[in-house]
Amino acid sequence: MNAVTQNRRHYEDLAVGEVVDLGRTTVTRDMIITFAREFDPFPFHLDEAAAKASLLGGLAASGWQTAALTLRMLGDTFLKTIASMGGLGFSDLKWKKPVMVGDTISGTATISELRRSRSHPERGILTLDFDIRNQRGEPVMTMRLANLVEVRQPETGSVPTPEVPFDVTHAGTA
């Protein structure tokens, strides 16, 4: 527990099944091109004609931008309200459909698992499953994120030792 996070929700305050509404973000041409120039400078993320000729069928955001925008939505709607200690990693990220110029993405993050760290009693590990969709309700991305959250009372309760999908022992932030 520390001064910054003491009034935020801790591990003990979270429950499997809780659904976070991530809000929505509209993806503009400028956003797509700016991100692509820095991180993913492929013609189908930069040029309308090249994009039309590609599998994407038109100018579309880098899938990594969709992921980064989702992270931002998660931060604004959820991570800032809990005693987050940082991310561990993620798994099973799938891009289902391209996010095109003018699309509005929205979605949910559902708490699918909560467990205590074996090696650090003050750390809880929170797993979130994401379902991101466009304005027509079509899935555009799914992923599973593992994030650390402070345990309010580390001395209390048992620390179960299930199979550990993320190598918490060696992770720099765990």
Q: How many CB atoms lie within 10 A of CB 82?
A: 19
The window from 10-18, 79-87, 109-117, 125-133 that contacts a second copy (CB under 8 A) reads 79-87
Residue 109 as a binder of a second copy (CB under 8 A): the answer is: no
Contact partners, residue 75, CB within 8 Å, separation at least 6: none
Site for a second copy in 152-171 (CB under 8 A): 166-167, 170-171
The residue from 21, 38, 102, 153 that contacts a second copy (CB under 8 A) is 38
Residue 46 in contact with a second copy, rule: CB under 8 A: no
- Per DSSP bridges, beta strands 123-133 and 19-26 are unpaired
How far apart are the C-alpha atoms of 124 and 166, rounded to whole Å?
13
> Which member of 137, 160, 162, 172 binds a second copy (CB under 8 A)?
172
Cα 48 to Cα 29: distance, rounded to the nearest angstrom: 10
Choose the binding region for a second copy from 6-14, 55-63, 107-115, 155-163 (rule: CB under 8 A).
Answer: 55-63
The interface mask with a second copy, positions 124-143, x = CB under 8 A, is: ----------------x--x
Residue 48 found at the interface with a second copy (CB under 8 A): no
DSSP strand pairing (139-150 vs 123-133): antiparallel
Sequence-distant (≥ 6) Cβ neighbours of residue 21 within 8 angstroms: 77, 108
Q: Which is nearer to a second copy, 13 or 138 (CB)?
A: 138
Structure tokens at 49: 């004609």
Judged by CB under 8 A, how many residues of this single chain contact a second copy? 49
Residue 43 phi/psi, 5-degree rounding, is -50, -40
Where does this chain bind a second copy (CB under 8 A)? 2, 4, 38-44, 50, 53-56, 62-64, 67-69, 71-72, 75, 79, 84-98, 140, 143, 148, 166-167, 170-174
